[in-house]
Structure 1
Amino acid sequence: MDDSKVVGGKVKKPGKRGRKPAKIDLKAKLERSRQSARECRARKKLRYQYLEELVSSRERAICALREELEMYKQWCMAMDQGKIPSEIRALLTGEEQSKSQQNSSRHTKAVKTEPNSNSW
């Protein structure tokens, strides 16, 4: 028995639906595939380089933070023993000096503006 059907005056044979594959040059198809693989490898290489740089920068940040944490631990141990570390002392005196400088500069500005305001 023939499975072909007559539809609209045309004889259709059963089989695959859709567009028939075009005859593509095998060499061109192979070259496109190779090019695509090269591009994929290049993207992968760039991605790995980016990730390695990211990891190394994070590792550097972690080392810096560990050093800072160790410094703070030493400061705390020194303060527990009743000693004030020189770094903290410098920070405290630096803040006091900057506050006194700000207050004195404000005072001198106020003094300078008073005579100007009273001049007629």
Structure 2
Amino acid sequence: MKMFLFLLQERKEAGKRGRKPGRKAAADKVDMKAKLERSRQSARECRARKKLRYQYLEELVADREKAVLSLRAELEKYRRLAAELDAGRYPEEMQAILEEVGAMKKE
């Protein structure tokens, strides 16, 4: 019987934990306003970071597109030179290219 009373007392003490009904006060409203303001500020910062990220990516894409155009022009130049060599002609640009390649090998 003593054991049963002891367990009953434990349950009463355990019931004191948790939220108390009817305890919302003005402090909770202030906390809620502060929480909403922090949330708004966080959202503004997130949008700003997103905007910067997109600007960075757009610049990166533009740079890569310029590089692709440059490489395509170079490829077309080499195709034209190869076509002239295949036709048995020696293009004027070929000497400059060979000298450039020779200078690279020396370095």
Larger Rg: 1
TM-score, normalized by the shorter chain, greater than 0.5? yes
Distance 1:9 1:31, change over 3 A: closer
Q: How does 1:1-120 map to 2 (within 5 A)?
A: 6-7=9-10, 10-12=13-15, 23=28, 25-92=31-98, 94=99
Distance 1:14 1:91, change over 3 A: closer
Give a deviation string over 1:44-73, Cα, whole Å, max 9, x none: 001001100110000000000000000000
The structure whose residues are more often strand, as a share, is: 1
Over the matched positions of the two proteins, sequence identity in percent amounts to 57
Instruction: Tell me the number of residue pairs that the alignment of Structure 1 and Structure 2 aligns.
Output: 86
CA drift of 1:6 comes to 3.2
Q: Which has the higher contact order (CA 8 A, sep 6+)?
A: 2
The structure whose residues are more often helix, as a share, is: 2
| Unmatched segments (≥5 aa) in structure 2 | 1-7, 20-26
Secondary structure of the 1:7 match is: helix
Q: Which runs of 4+ in 1 moved over 4 A?
A: 13-16
TM-score by length of 1: 0.60
* Root mean square deviation of aligned Cα: 2.8
| Distance in 2 of aligned mates of 1:14 and 1:88 | 89
